[in-house]
Amino acid sequence: MGGSLTIKVYTGADYAGSVSDRRSTLGYCTFLCGNLIAWKSKKQSVVVARSSAEAEIRAMEQGICELLWMKQVLEDLKIQCEGPMKLFCDNKSAISIAHNLVQHDGTKHIEIDRRFINETLDSGLITTAYIPSGHQLEDVLKKSLPTEQLNQLTCKLGMIDIHSLA
């Protein structure tokens, strides 16, 4: 089977969102040709993030791992991806840190994640794009949202309310 496909992942984290231990929750949603195929929401197992950018960097790293795994699965099936895969993030600081290895000492504790992300971006396999927080699809997995925003995002995820069908 041949063909070209696009792969996108939306990543994010709710900085210090857990009231009990102040750990962040990361989330991502992976799309293949516009269809939701994988998602994850998990409390970060590492120490408490010191900034929202740090929490987002760790979420980006998880999203990139998901993209690379998906690309490998498709290649095993003899299916080629069309162009670079896209990673969407709602934190401009995290995107800047990911692209620029010459940062301040404040990011040394996330050095390995940062280098992994930077090398992947430099390879051209993945590109990053900023998406405003209100349009971040993976927020459905980790935040309480107003009804209107929840309905908009779940619709974009391709979800339907089976109880509203008559």
CATH top-level class for 4-156? alpha beta
**Rounded Cα–Cα distance for residues 164 and 128 (Å):** 37
Q: What is the pLDDT of residues 79-130, one digit of tens each?
A: 888 789 999 998 898 888 888 867 555 566 677 788 888 889 999 999 999 9
Q: Band the pLDDT of 64: cuts 50, 70, 90.
A: very high
Q: What is the pTM of this model?
A: 0.77
For residue range 19-36, what is the model confidence (pLDDT) as tens digits?
Answer: 667 777 888 889 898 888
Closest CA to 55 of 129, 110, 124: 110
pLDDT digits (tens, 9 = 90+) for 42-59: 877 766 666 777 888 888
